[in-house]
Amino acid sequence: MILPTFEYRKAESVADAIRLYNDFHGKAGYLAGGTDLVPSLKLRLFTPAALIDLKGIEELKTITAQDGWLTIGANVTLFNLKNYSVVKEYFPALNQSLDATSCETLQMRGTIGGNLLQDTRCLAYNKSMEWRTARGFCLKMGGKTCNVVPDARICLSNYCSDNALSLITLSAKVKLTGPGGERSTELEKIFNGSGTRPFALEPGEILT
């Protein structure tokens, strides 16, 4: 399947990315590794007016171990993170979850931020627009019922991050930056329990 039409912008910094987001009046998405986003675009599950590429932002690619904290940039690839010496030596559960994530080819492309913020999915949702239209839109698409469990009034799509659980057991915190400023919170607090829109993020926020 081919990609839909959208404008492409490359951000040089987090502040630049937020400025671009505001320029498109919130009708833009952020691109990092793209291993989850690009298939969603092809299926028309996400149709932004623009994509803002975060891959060139150097501050999001760093890992530091200092003052008792391991600080991981959201754009660090899964492959680089699993091979980082501190992760291999001190965080075996995280290391194993990273190693179990897909294949090494995708690990070299996919980012830790993208793995945490991947959308929920379902065999009745992750289909082409034509398939979904013929079946009838489900709750996640703005319909009135779940297409997997008849008469269900909640979305039962699944969250599939390989790495969120291991990070939560380590009491991981996340830093988010958006149009409203910067904030930090425990990782588990970014999940709201909704299959339809699973993240408690403000519009335009970037996991940094």
CATH of residue 89 = 3.30.465.10
pLDDT of 1: 79
pLDDT of 151: 84
pTM: 0.94
66 in a structural domain: yes
Residue 6, Cβ density class (10 Å: 0-12 exposed, 13-18 middle, ≥19 buried): middle
- Read off the pLDDT of residues 149-180 as tens digits, 9 standing for 90 and up: 988 889 999 999 999 999 999 999 999 999 99
45 in a structural domain: no
- Read off the pLDDT of residues 183-201 as tens digits, 9 standing for 90 and up: 999 999 999 999 999 999 9
Q: Nearest-CA neighbor of 115 among 53, 166, 151?
A: 166
81 in a structural domain: yes
Show the tokens assigned to 82: 């699993």
DSSP string, 131-166: HHHHH---GGGT-SS-SSSTT--S--PBP--SSHHH
**Mean pLDDT, to the nearest integer, of 12-33?**
97
Residue span of the structural domain in which 67 resides: 61-121+158-207
Q: How many helices (H) and strands (E) does the chain have?
A: 9, 8
- Read off the pLDDT of residues 109-127 as tens digits, 9 standing for 90 and up: 999 999 999 999 999 999 9
38 in a structural domain: no
Q: How far apart are CA 192 and CA 208, in angstroms?
A: 19
Tally of domains in the chain: 1
35 in a structural domain: no
Q: How far apart are CA 94 and CA 176, in angstroms?
A: 21
- Read off the pLDDT of residues 36-80 as tens digits, 9 standing for 90 and up: 999 999 999 999 999 999 999 999 999 999 999 999 999 999 999
